Amino acid sequence: MKISPLEVKRQEFKKVLRGYDPVEVDTFLEMISNELEELLGLNKQMKDKVIELETQLADYKHMEKTLQQTLLQAQETSGKSIENSRKEADLIIKEAELKASQIVEKARTDFSRTKEEIANLKARKESIISRLKVLLHSELDLLRALEIDEEDLSKHDSSKGTGKEHLEIEEILKKL
């Protein structure tokens, strides 16, 4: 049963002979009433303070939970970022290796093509030299034939060639 300070003040006792002194009882009741009133006020203040502190504690717990979640998210994000960076680096390396491989393959192809072109050019050179030799030999033979005819004519004529022209053509053929 809860007793309020007002009930303590209004409490009346029956009067009996040889009982307690009414003034002393009233004073004591007044004092108890005041003390009870103070205690109830203090109790109310304490309850309010407890409610306030519990509210703050709940807020702090909420903030702690939020901070923990934020920290976890930051760690996950950091981990994902690192993993993504590694994957991207691997991809860049693979692309670079592929490009390097393509460049090497193109260089090999170009080298092979160039070797073939050089071989073709050498073959053409040899062919041209051979044809020139044949042409020059045939021209030389023609000149010799003409010289023989000319010698026959020159026997009748006093001017003779030096034969130097024939030697120059022979030297050109040897150089080829």
- Rounded Cα gap, residues 52 and 46, in angstroms: 10
Q: If pLDDT is split at 50, 70 and 90, which confidence band does 168 have?
A: low
Q: Give 37's contacts (C-beta < 8 A, 6+ positions apart).
A: 5
SS3 of the chain: helix, strand, coil, percent, to 5? 85, 0, 15
**SS3 (DSSP) at 164:** helix
Res 81 pLDDT > 80: yes
Res 169 pLDDT > 70: no
Element (H, E) at 176: none
Any idea what the Cα angle at residue 140 is, between residues 136 and 141, rounded to 5°? 120
- Rounded Cα gap, residues 38 and 31, in angstroms: 11
Q: What percent of the chain has pLDDT over 90?
A: 53
- Rounded Cα gap, residues 74 and 79, in angstroms: 8
Q: Express each pLDDT in 20-58 by its tens digit.
A: 777 888 888 888 888 888 998 999 999 999 999 999 999
Res 89 pLDDT > 80: yes
Domain-wise residue ranges, the chain = 5-175
Neighbouring C-beta atoms of residue 130, cutoff 10 Å: 11
Say if pTM beats, i.e. exceeds, 0.75.
Answer: no
Region 81-92 average pLDDT: 95
What local confidence, expressed as pLDDT, does residue 159 receive? 47
